[in-house]
Amino acid sequence: MTGNLLVFLGAALASAVEMVEALTIVLALGVTRGWRAPLQGAVAALVVLAVLVAVLGPALEAVPIDVLRLIVGSLLLVFGLQWLRKAILRASGLKALHDEDAAFAAEVAAAQAMGITPGRDRYSLVISFKSTLLEGLEVAFIVITLGANQGATAVAAAGAVVALVAVVIIGALVRHPLSRVPENTLKFTVGVMLTSFGTFWAGEGVGIDWPGDEASLAALILLTVAWSLLFARLLRRTPTVVIA
Amino acid sequence: MSGLWHGIVDFVVGDDLGIAIAVLVLLVLAAAAVHFGADAWWLLAAGVPVALWVSLQRARRTAREAS
């Protein structure tokens, strides 16, 4: 039950982070060039992602659990550490924070520079499709891997969909990039969850018996939060140049 | 085909290949320890943060060199 809740939350938070970024691009295209083509592109990408999850999720659940835990756990661990690395570098000031307003302005400028031709707006369609697909691929990967390992692909997918719907509704209401969303905090949280799940499952995959079985997952999460915050604090002490 | 493979590797491995290598090494060591009957949970619990810290230090050095 707790495992499923964590899977739901992990997928929802990852989806929120990525969909905020996709929303910025779709909004920029929509307000500059009209809504029809960007919306069509975004919906087409979401359909592709849904098919990917629907096909690969259940297929992975059929793989023997030890093999699955080793492979998927290792991938999740690497993936989670990358998210955590980026979030810590941003939190410590070594990497620039992702700025939705700046991304929006850059996308609006690019969209205005492209002339609008009569008929279907292929530029908006392609950019919107590509952006939503690329941002969504990370979410699909997380949904498939988290879900398959826990035997709860539907739960993970539900988490991603709930976050997607929330981002779309808020985006439609404010019609402005969601720059107030604490993106780096969400990224940090997802990184912690993926790293903890990945460590636990990859460990089980190589035959490790975790003390207290599933209970050690909670301990791993707390431990990961603790050392991640410590790392961000230690890095913040030494000011250096900010990587863009 | 090689472009697709590069894309997949880049997608999973991300900015620092060192992290992926460190994870691989840790898992091999843990599997060996389990094979010889040792408790290896602590190896992952301690090794994963060390791997990230090394990667973060590398990023800090790069940033310092760029300044």
Q: Report how far residue A177's alpha carbon sits from residue A181's, in angstroms, rounded to the nearest whole number.
A: 9
pTM of the entire structure?
Answer: 0.84
pLDDT category of residue A240 using cuts at 50, 70 and 90:
low
Q: Report how far residue B8's alpha carbon sits from residue B12's, in angstroms, rounded to the nearest whole number.
A: 6
How close does chain B come to A138, measured CA to CA in Å? Answer: 8
pLDDT category of residue A244 using cuts at 50, 70 and 90:
low
Give chain A's mean pLDDT.
88
Q: Looking at A141-155, A197-211, B2-16, which range is the least confident one?
A: B2-16
The pLDDT assigned to B14 comes to 79
Chain B residues with CB under 8 Å of a chain A CB are 11-16, 19-20, 23-24, 27, 30-31, 34-35, 39-41, 44-45, 48-49, 51-53, 55-56, 59-60, 62-64, 66-67
**In sequence order, what are the residues at sequence separation of 6 or more whose Cβ sits closer than 8 angstroms to the Cβ of residue B50?**
B22
pLDDT category of residue A239 using cuts at 50, 70 and 90:
low
The pLDDT assigned to A65 comes to 83
Residue B1 scores a pLDDT above 70: no
Nearest CB neighbour to B60, from listed A74, A78, A238: A238
The pLDDT assigned to A243 comes to 58
pLDDT category of residue B10 using cuts at 50, 70 and 90:
confident
**In sequence order, what are the residues at sequence separation of 6 or more whose Cβ sits closer than 8 angstroms to the Cβ of residue A58?**
A153
Average pLDDT over residues A42-50: 95
Residue A176 burial (CB < 10 Å; 0-12/13-18/19+)?
middle
Average pLDDT over residues A73-91: 93
Q: Report how far residue A25's alpha carbon sits from residue A69's, in angstroms, rounded to the nearest whole number.
A: 36
pLDDT category of residue B15 using cuts at 50, 70 and 90:
confident
The pLDDT assigned to B7 comes to 74
Domain ranges of chain B: 15-66
The more confidently predicted of residues A45 and B13 is: A45
Residue A217 scores a pLDDT above 80: yes
Which chain B residues are within 8 Å of A236, Cβ to Cβ?
A: none
Domain ranges of chain A: 2-236
Residue A236's closest chain B neighbor by CA? B60
Residue A210's closest chain B neighbor by CA? B41
SS3 content of chain A, % helix, strand, coil (to 5): 80, 0, 20
On whether the CB atoms of residues A14 and A162 are closer than 8 A, the answer is: no
